[in-house]
Amino acid sequence: MTPSLETPRLLLLPLELEDAEQVERRFPRWEIVQYLNAIVPWPFPEGAALAHIRDVALPSVERGDAWHWTLRLRTAPDQLVGRIHLSREAGNNRGFWIVPELHGQGLMTEAVVAVNDYWFDVLGFPVLRAPKAAANVASRRISEKTGMRLVGATEKDYVCGRLPTEIWEITAEEWRAVRTRFPR
Ligand SMILES: CC(C)(COP(=O)(O)OP(=O)(O)OC[C@H]1O[C@@H](n2cnc3c(N)ncnc32)[C@H](O)[C@@H]1OP(=O)(O)O)[C@@H](O)C(=O)NCCC(=O)NCCS
């Protein structure tokens, strides 16, 4: 099961079925979906957030295959502003989005630090890998800031089409060395 986590400015709460309504309102925006996996339906049909949470995300949590959080500002804890998840899926261990109004303030970097700690220190995995569209500059920058290494290149299908893709990686040992850069 997914525990609540905290960062200096964010609360990470375990995803619940009741979050579907807020996800449905805040998620379907081009700035959020363009570089997400093409499995995300676009245009985003009514009910798709509920269906994803109920039929995909929460069952994967129950199986122990994934850990899903919603992001909330500590100053407005009732308002869902994004999501982040971890997964056992080979080569695709983490995913995230946050509403465009909050981009560029270092918030997702905080969430990444919290879930990286959980991945390595609590779950005990030896390595974390994440693919991302090479064009997704903000996501790439998060990888750089948190000490990941570029280990491969491929192509993948995104909501916006097929794009060159980078595979980023960090080991537990590397994470523990980089972790000192960030506040506890
Ligand atoms: C990717 C995403 C989660 C980043 O969230 P965020 O809270 O803005 O991230 P942070 O502020 O922690 O870090 C982003 C970094 O990218 C930089 N950045 C953002 N856009 C940039 C651009 N166009 N060019 C250069 N740098 C850029 C920011 O300046 C920041 O770096 P800095 O701290 O060195 O200044 C957010 O843009 C998002 O939700 N995108 C849509 C969903 C998505 O693409 N998810 C990832 C799929 S792999």
What pLDDT does residue 47 have? 98
Specify the ligand 1 atom closest to the Cα of 82. 39
Whether the pLDDT of residue 184 is over 90: the answer is no
- How distant, in Å, are the alpha carbons of 69, 107, 111, 176 from that of 57? 10, 23, 18, 29
Specify the ligand 1 atom closest to the Cα of 139. 1
pTM attached to this predicted model? 0.98
Sketch the domain layout of the chain as residue ranges: 5-181
Ligand 1: does its nearest atom lie under 6 Å from the Cβ of 33? no
- pLDDT above 70 covers what percent of the chain? 100
Specify the ligand 1 atom closest to the Cα of 34. 44
pLDDT band at 16 (very low <50, low <70, confident <90, very high): very high
Q: What is the pLDDT of residues 151-160, one digit of tens each?
A: 999 999 999 9
Q: What is the pLDDT of residues 143-178, one digit of tens each?
A: 999 999 999 999 999 999 999 999 999 999 999 999
Q: What is the mean pLDDT of the chain?
A: 98
Q: What is the mean pLDDT of residues 30-34?
A: 98
Whether the pLDDT of residue 28 is over 90: the answer is yes
CATH architecture of 5-181: 3-Layer(aba) Sandwich (3.40)
Label residue 15 exposed, middle or buried (CB < 10 Å: 0-12, 13-18, 19+): buried
pLDDT band at 64 (very low <50, low <70, confident <90, very high): very high
What pLDDT does residue 1 have? 85
Q: How far is the CA of 2 from the centre of ligand 1 (A)?
A: 25
- Closest-CA residue, ligand 1 atom 24, reads 137
Ligand 1: does its nearest atom lie under 6 Å from the Cβ of 136? yes
Q: How far is the CA of 15 from the centre of ligand 1 (A)?
A: 22
What pLDDT does residue 43 have? 97
Whether the pLDDT of residue 35 is over 90: the answer is yes
DSSP codes, the chain: -PPPEE-SSEEEEE--GGGHHHHHHHS--HHHHTTSBTTS-SS--TTHHHHHIIIIIHHHHHHTSEEEEEEEETTSTTS--EEEEEE-STT--EEEEE-GGGTTSSHHHHHHHHHHHIIIIIS--SEEEEEEETT-HHHHHHHHHTT-EEEEEEEEEETTEEEEEEEEEEEHHHHHHHGGGS--
d(CA 97, CA 71) in angstroms, rounded, equals 9
Ligand 1: does its nearest atom lie under 6 Å from the Cβ of 167? no
- Closest-CA residue, ligand 1 atom 27, reads 138
Specify the ligand 1 atom closest to the Cα of 97. 39
Q: What is the mean pLDDT of residues 106-134?
A: 98
Ligand 1: does its nearest atom lie under 6 Å from the Cβ of 168? no
Buried b (16+ CB within 10 A) or exposed e, 148-159: beeeeeeebebb
Whether the pLDDT of residue 114 is over 90: the answer is yes
- How distant, in Å, are the alpha carbons of 116, 163, 165 from that of 171? 10, 26, 20
